[in-house]
Amino acid sequence: MSIKLILLISFISSFTFAQSEPKVVNKIVAQVGDQIILLSDVEERKLQFIVNNPKATAPSDCEVLEQLMMEELLYNQSLVDSLVVSEEAVESELEMRFRVAIEEKFNGDKAKMEEVYGKTISQLKEELRGQIKKKMLAQEMEQKLVSTLSVTPKEVAAFFNKIPKDSIPLINMKLSFQQIVNYPSISNDDKEKARIKLQEVQKELSVENFELMAKIHSDDISSAVNGGIIEASRGMMVPQFESTALSLKPGEISEIIETQFGFHILLLLERRGDDYICRHILKKPAYSKQAFKKSADKVDSAYNMLKMNQITWEQAVIKYSNDEMTRENKGIITNPYTGEQTWEMDQLNEIDQQIYLITDRMEKGDISKPSMYNDIYERKDGIRIVRLLARIPAHKANLNDDYALIKMAAENDKKTRTINDWVNSKVTSSYIRIDDLYRSCTFNSNWKSN
C-alpha cells in the first residue's frame, strides 16, 4: 500500500489530513485470528490522533496496538454472530467521509484530490470500501455488547467521587435558551409570483448566458456570486433538486421545479457517477407585508402577555410559535454539536451570533423584546422572543450543574470496562500473536495470556 493511500485512509477515517508523511515499515506486529496488524497500522493510527488532537498527549505504541487488536477481535466476532451492515449504509458512510475530506483538504476541488493520488474518486472509494465496511462491523459488534448498559444515579455519584479533586475538569460557561418564533406564512399567491418571475427569466435563458443570469437573478446568494454553481453528490441536496440534476444530460437545462426553498431552474455541467456539478437559479417566494405584520402582531401579543403574567411561557410557545424545531419542546434550542440543551460561546457564535447580543445582560428567566430572526437552516425570516433559561458560570465540574456530562462519562467508563471484560473472556480461546517488539507492553486486557 502506498504512503499516499495510507494517509488518505487516515484522513478519510478522521476527517483530517496529515501534512507530513511518516516512514511506513511493513512488519507484522500482531495477529488476531486471521487478521494481521502491521507496524504501519500502528503508526497510521497514532498519526491520526496527533493530527486530530495537536494539544493532547499522544497515546503510546502499546495503547494504539491494543486498540487495533480489540477492533480485530470485535470484527472477528461480528462475523461469528453474522452481523450485517447494508451496502447502502457503507456507501453512505463512504460518501460522507469523502465529501468532508474533499471540502476540508481540497477546498471542494475533487479534481485536485484525484491529481494528488493519481486515481479517480471512484477508484479511491473502491480501495477504501472494504476497510470502511470492516470498521462499521466492528462498531456494530461493540454496540451490540454495550447497547443495554445504563448507569444508576448511585453509580454516577460513585464514579464522580473516585475522581481525584485535582483532576476534576473545569467547565466553561454554558448558556441555555428558549424561543418563540413566528414565521410569516407564504400564500399560494406568493408562490405564484415567484414562479412567474422565474418564468420571465426562463424566456431569456440559454446555456451560454446561464452563469450571468444566475448572478443577476438568483435568490441563492451563496451560489449566485459564482454563477449559481453547485457541486454535490447523491444524498446532499433535497430530493426534488437531486432527482432533477441526475436526470439531466450535460449541457441540458431543466424545466422549473419546486423545492422547500422555492423555484429552481438547473443546468447540468458535469456528472461522474453520483457526483455532479450544476448551475441553478432560485426564486424564493416572498411573504407579503400583511403576512409579516400578522406574525409581528402575534409575537407582540405573546411578549405583552408574558410581561403581564397573563400566560405562562409554555402556553405562549404552543399558542404563538410555529417553529417546528422548538415548538414541541417548550421552545428550548438544542445544541446541534452535542445534542444537549446547553451551549458554549464558541458553538453559539457559529450558529446564532445574534442570540448572545440579545441575552448578554439578561438574567435567568428574562425575555427579550420581539426582533427579526433568520433561520440559517431553513433560510427563512421570522419574528422571535428569546428567554434565557440558564447561565452557568465557568466552574469545576459538580454533580448538581453537570450531572448529564458526568453521567455520560460514567456510562463510557462502564462500557470500557464491559468491553475489556469481554476481551478477556475471548482471548483465551482466540489465536493471538504479538511480536517481540511489543511483548513488554502492559495492556488493559490479558492479550498475552496465550
Q: Residue 412: count other Cβ atoms within 10 Å of its Cβ.
A: 14
Q: What is the CATH number of the domain that holds 435?
A: 1.10.4030.10
Q: Look at residue 124 and tell me whether its pLDDT is greater than 60.
A: yes
Mean pLDDT of 324-339: 89
- 253 domain-assigned: yes
Residue 323's pLDDT is 93
Cα 365 to Cα 352: distance, rounded to the nearest angstrom: 19
How many CA atoms are closer than 13 Å to the CA of 329, on its beta-carbon side? Answer: 13
Total count of domains within the chain: 3
Give the closest residue to 247 by CA, choosing from 278, 214, 281, 211: 278
Please indicate, yes or no, whether residues 363 and 305 belong to a single structural domain of this protein.
yes
Please indicate, yes or no, whether residues 252 and 313 belong to a single structural domain of this protein.
no
Please indicate, yes or no, whether residues 318 and 361 belong to a single structural domain of this protein.
yes
Give the closest residue to 364 by CA, choosing from 170, 174, 172: 174
Q: What is the CATH number of the domain that holds 296?
A: 3.10.50.40
Q: Look at residue 25 and tell me whether its pLDDT is greater than 60.
A: no
User: Would you place residue 450 in the very low, low, confident or very high pLDDT band (cuts 50, 70, 90)?
Assistant: low
Q: Look at residue 211 and tell me whether its pLDDT is greater than 90.
A: yes
Please indicate, yes or no, whether residues 278 and 300 belong to a single structural domain of this protein.
no
Residue 15's pLDDT is 37
Which of 230, 254, 283 is the last residue before a domain boundary? Answer: 283
- 403 domain-assigned: no
Q: Look at residue 14 and tell me whether its pLDDT is greater than 50.
A: no
Mean pLDDT of 327-348: 87
Give 230-275 pLDDT, tens digit per residue.
988 888 899 999 999 999 999 999 999 999 899 999 999 999 888 8
Cα 354 to Cα 371: distance, rounded to the nearest angstrom: 10
User: Would you place residue 449 in the very low, low, confident or very high pLDDT band (cuts 50, 70, 90)?
Assistant: low
Q: Look at residue 11 and tell me whether its pLDDT is greater than 50.
A: no
Give 309-326 pLDDT, tens digit per residue.
999 999 999 999 999 889
Please indicate, yes or no, whether residues 195 and 270 belong to a single structural domain of this protein.
yes
Please indicate, yes or no, whether residues 199 and 254 belong to a single structural domain of this protein.
yes
Percent of residues, the chain, with pLDDT higher than 70: 94
Residue 5's pLDDT is 41
Cα 114 to Cα 121: distance, rounded to the nearest angstrom: 6
Please indicate, yes or no, whether residues 258 and 319 belong to a single structural domain of this protein.
no
Please indicate, yes or no, whether residues 244 and 278 belong to a single structural domain of this protein.
yes
Residue 7's pLDDT is 42
Please indicate, yes or no, whether residues 118 and 227 belong to a single structural domain of this protein.
no
Please indicate, yes or no, whether residues 361 and 431 belong to a single structural domain of this protein.
no
Q: Are 374 and 143 in contact (CB under 8 A)?
A: no
Q: What angle do CA 203, 205, 207 make, to 5 degrees?
A: 150
Give the global pTM. 0.61
The boundaries of the domain holding residue 201 are 188-283
Mean pLDDT of 156-167: 94
Cα 343 to Cα 222: distance, rounded to the nearest angstrom: 27
Please indicate, yes or no, whether residues 246 and 322 belong to a single structural domain of this protein.
no
Residue 445's pLDDT is 87
Mean pLDDT of 390-396: 90
Cα 180 to Cα 203: distance, rounded to the nearest angstrom: 42
Residue 49's pLDDT is 81
Please indicate, yes or no, whether residues 415 and 335 belong to a single structural domain of this protein.
no
* 413 Cβ neighbours under 8 A, 6+ residues apart: 159
Q: Look at residue 374 and tell me whether its pLDDT is greater than 80.
A: yes
